[in-house]
Amino acid sequence: MKCGEFNPKKFSVASYPTQGYPPNQQSSDNQKQTKDFPVSCTVEHELRFSASSENRGTQMTLEENRRMLQAIYRTLSSVRTGIVLLILLGLASAAGTFVLQRPLTDPEQLERAYDPETLAWLDRWGLTDVFHSWWFVALMTLLALNIILASLERFPTAWRFFARPYLRPGPHFQATLPLQEEVSIRNVEMGLQAAERAFRKLGWKPQRVGKNGDCSLYIERHRVARLAPYVVHASLLLILAGGIVDGVWGWRGFVALTQNEQTDRIERRDGTEQRLPFTIRCEDAGQENYPDGTPRRWWTNLTVLEDGREVLRKEIEVNDPLVYRGLRFFQSSYGSTGTLAKLTVLATAVQTPQQTRTVELSPNQTVALDENTTVRLAAFVPDFMVVGNQIRTRSPEPNNPAIQLLVESKAGGSWKVWLFPRFPDFSHPGDAPYTFRVRDLQMGYYTGLQVAYEPGQWAVWAGCILMGIGLFMTFYMVHTRFWVVPVSDRLGRQALWVGASASKNRDEFLERFRRIMETIRAELAEQQPPAVVTNATVAARS
């Protein structure tokens, strides 16, 4: 017997050899049927059965994948997901506001504000630089994807309103309009003309639809308002795109400059050095205080140099940065360097105490007192204190300054003289040929500049402008439509059917609809022909 010629009635579960059981437990009928059934047919059927099972398994896998993708799509495009993402972004932004951020905050201030374990934990999770962290960029990316998917799902309906306006309503559409009314007319053309005049008086531009005897009017205003939500969505996408670009490719750094100092390198947040395509120089910097001594503003005069040539100069403040070649230089801080910039002393010769001269000293500068004697500023301690026979400073501020001068003579003598401006009597020149008294000291100050490279800021600003336009369209523009169609009323007389629709503000629009209907009736009343008075009419009245 060939494969496919066996009787299908003989093919049953009992026809298969019972695998796993001894042959003596099988009935003789089963053994006989097994012997009568060709082995080749059994193998072929098992292969077909296995192939069909694999196909069903593949189909089930594809179906499961399709359902899973649909579930992911529904989740990502849902409004609920968008709200959750907005809440998470708001919380993350709040964290970036309340937690001290690098590099805006000095490392010393961070160390004073948080203990080492807390600071390490904040750094590990990116909470000290929230807006450049990977998870903040991921949240912005998910929100952008949510906006795109939600817009793609709902945009075709809005685009149909905009691209293909419904110029002439059918009977079913007329029945669904909430605002509609009929006005009796004597002539279709005269009725349409009256309606056109009424709309023009109220500032509307009617449009004729159809030709010859099948004409109607279509009037609308602010059709573009249907696209307002998508303008807002596009603005959000621009802002998010700018934020993502800044988070991935942007960076922030810090540089401290003293007066007349220049540099073309800054330190980035991660500690790496960033080279600038130009040189920045601090011409001057300062601080203005309120009468009580608290700082009112910091300012810095900056100059941009390229190839040694000055290309830009600007005085910056906290909220008025210098912008050049995509880089922004913000005034971030201002403080003492803890070093002495200039010292003015009165030097008096021991042998001629009646002769006193004024000497100005700068760090590492040697000044001649006479032909044989020189003086040099050797050391400066801004806030002097002694700890364990060692000189220390409490702070970089000149609260208790101490100054060491080195006096040298060509004869071979050398003297170290300590000066204490707040306690001048403690100064002991020893056997030095000169005595010194501090007249003035000027501390060295630095200006702290935050440097930001934000390539996505143009997208952010464009998104903000577009959002303003979208919000104006959303709150102040209403898509309103009117249709004026000649019809026959229930008595078969000619009439104008007037229908209207508004996308929002229905109560306010109802008053506008009533005013338009009153204007149309007034125009129709002016078209009524005057009554002709005859002799018979006069006689009848008399």
> At which residue do the structure tokens 């601080």 appear?
287
In a domain, 369, yes or no: yes
Residue 220 has a pLDDT of 93
Task: Sort strands 494-502 and 179-184 into parallel, antiparallel or unpaired.
Answer: antiparallel
- The residue that leads in pLDDT, 372 or 282, is 282
User: How many domains is the chain built from?
Assistant: 2
CA distance 25 to 18: 9
What's the pLDDT at 294?
83
Which of the residue ranges 193-202, 214-223, 283-292, 380-389 would you say has the lowest mean pLDDT?
Answer: 380-389
Flag whether pLDDT at 25 surpasses 70.
no
Tell me which of 106-110, 249-253, 276-280 is least confident.
106-110
353 and 401 in a single domain? The answer is yes
Task: Name the strand (E) or helix (H) holding 303.
Answer: strand 295-306
Other C-beta atoms lying within 10 Å of the C-beta of residue 317: 12
- Domain span at 499: 166-221+478-526
For the ranges 106-115, 144-153, 230-239, the maximum mean pLDDT occurs at 230-239
Q: Are residues 420 and 494 in the same domain?
A: no
The answer on 490 and 438 residing in a single domain is no
**Is it the case that residue 2 has pLDDT exceeding 80?**
no
pLDDT at 211 over 90: no
Same domain, 391 and 484: no
Q: Is 382's pLDDT higher than 80?
A: yes
Which has the higher per-residue pLDDT, 393 or 376?
A: 376
In a domain, 363, yes or no: yes
Residues 403 and 486 in one domain: no
Whether 388 maps to a domain, the answer reads: yes
Same structural domain, 430 and 343? yes
Six-digit token string for 444: 């060295």
Q: CA separation (Å) from 397 to 126, 298, 434, 443, 531?
A: 33, 17, 29, 9, 103
DSSP secondary structure of 124-158:
HTTTTSGGGSHHHHHHHHHHHHHHHHHHHHHHHHH
| Percent of the chain residues topping a pLDDT of 70 | 85
* Residues in a beta bridge with 181: 498
Q: How far is 440 from 64, CA to CA, in rounded Å? A: 84
pLDDT band at 29 (very low <50, low <70, confident <90, very high): very low
Please state, rounded to an integer, the average pLDDT across all residues of the chain. 82
Is residue 87 very low, low, confident or very high in pLDDT (cuts 50, 70, 90)?
A: very high
Q: Between these two residues, 392 and 471, which has the higher pLDDT value?
A: 471
Provide the pLDDT for residue 155: 87
Token pair 């905050």: residue: 105
Distance separating alpha carbons of residues 413 and 435, to the nearest angstrom? 15
Domain identity same for 345 and 434? yes
| pLDDT band of 268, cuts 50, 70, 90 | confident
Tell me which of 266-270, 319-323, 514-518 is least confident.
266-270
User: What HEC string does 158-197 produce?
Assistant: HHHHHHCCCCCCCHHHHHHCCEEEEEECCCHHHHHHHHHH
CA distance 243 to 455: 9
Question: How far apart (Å, rounded) are the C-alpha atoms in residues 430 and 427?
Answer: 9
Cβ neighbours of residue 63 closer than 8 Å, sequence gap 6 or more? none
With a cut of 90, say whether residue 219 has pLDDT above it. yes
CA-closest candidate to residue 346, choices 320, 375, 380: 375
In a domain, 345, yes or no: yes
Give the pLDDT mean for 53-73.
75
Write down the pLDDT at residue 181: 93
The Cα 441–Cα 421 span in angstroms is 9
Confirm whether 469 is domain-assigned: no
**Beta-carbon contacts of residue 284 (< 8 Å; ≥ 6 apart):** 259, 300, 301
| pLDDT band for position 255 (cuts 50, 70, 90) | very high
The candidate with the shortest Cα–Cα distance to 202, out of 496, 438, 525, 519, is 519
The per-residue pLDDT for 3 is: 43
> CB atoms < 10 A from the CB of 352, how many?
8
Same domain, 422 and 494: no
DSSP character at residue 27 = -
Query: Is residue 429 scored above 80 in pLDDT?
Result: no
Q: Give dist(CA 100, CA 114) in Å, integer.
A: 10
Confidence band (pLDDT; 50, 70, 90) for 5? Answer: very low
Instruction: Name the more confident of 412 and 343.
Output: 343
User: Tens digits of per-residue pLDDT, 295-304?
Assistant: 888 999 999 9
Evaluate if residue 528 carries a pLDDT over 70: no
> Under a CB-based contact definition with an 8 Å cutoff, are residues 165 and 223 in contact?
yes
Please check whether residues 354 and 427 belong to one and the same domain. yes
pLDDT bracket for residue 293 (50, 70, 90): confident
Q: Express each pLDDT in 126-135 by its tens digit.
A: 888 888 888 9
Q: How far apart are CA 1 and CA 16, in angstroms?
A: 18
At 198 the pLDDT is 93
pLDDT at 10 over 60: no
* pLDDT score for 16: 41
Confidence check: pLDDT of 190 > 80: yes
Q: Can you give the pLDDT at residue 242?
A: 92
Peptide bond into 382 cis (omega under 30): no
Cα–Cα distance measured from residue 247 to residue 126, given in angstroms and rounded to the nearest whole number? 12
Domain-located, residue 385:
yes
What gap in Å lies between CA 130 and CA 504, rounded to an integer? 40
DSSP states of 84-127: HHHHHHHHHHHHHHHS--TTTS-HHHHHHHS-HHHHHHHHHTTT
For residue 398, tell me if it sits in a domain. Answer: yes
Residue 276 has a pLDDT of 93
Do 437 and 483 share a domain, yes or no? Answer: no
Query: What's the mean pLDDT in 21-37?
Result: 44
Comparing 261 with 53, which gets the higher pLDDT?
Answer: 261
Evaluate whether residue 216 is within a structural domain: yes
- Taking the CA atoms of residue 507, residue 513, residue 518 and residue 524 in that order, the dihedral angle to the nearest 10 degrees is -170
Nearest to 39, CA basis, from 12, 15, 9, 14: 15
In whole angstroms, give the CA distance from residue 77 to residue 233. 13
**How much of the chain, in percent, has pLDDT values that exceed 90?**
34
CATH number of the domain enclosing 493: 3.30.310.10
Name beta bridge partners: 347: 357, 436
Asked if 426 and 365 sit in the same domain, the reply is yes
Does the pLDDT at position 107 exceed 80? no
Q: Give the model's confidence band at 51: pLDDT under 50 very low, under 70 low, under 90 confident, else very high.
A: low
Residue 292: its pLDDT value, please? 83
- The confidence score (pLDDT) of residue 60 equals 66
Structure confidence at residue 350 (pLDDT): 85
pLDDT score, position 8: 44
User: Is the pLDDT score of 119 beyond 90?
Assistant: no
Structure tokens at 220: 């609308």
The pLDDT-based confidence of 42 (bands split at 50, 70, 90) is: low
- Number of neighbours of residue 169 by Cβ within 10 angstroms: 20
H or E segment to which residue 405 belongs: strand 402-409
Do 417 and 355 share a structural domain? yes
Cα 174 from Cα 186, distance rounded (Å) = 22
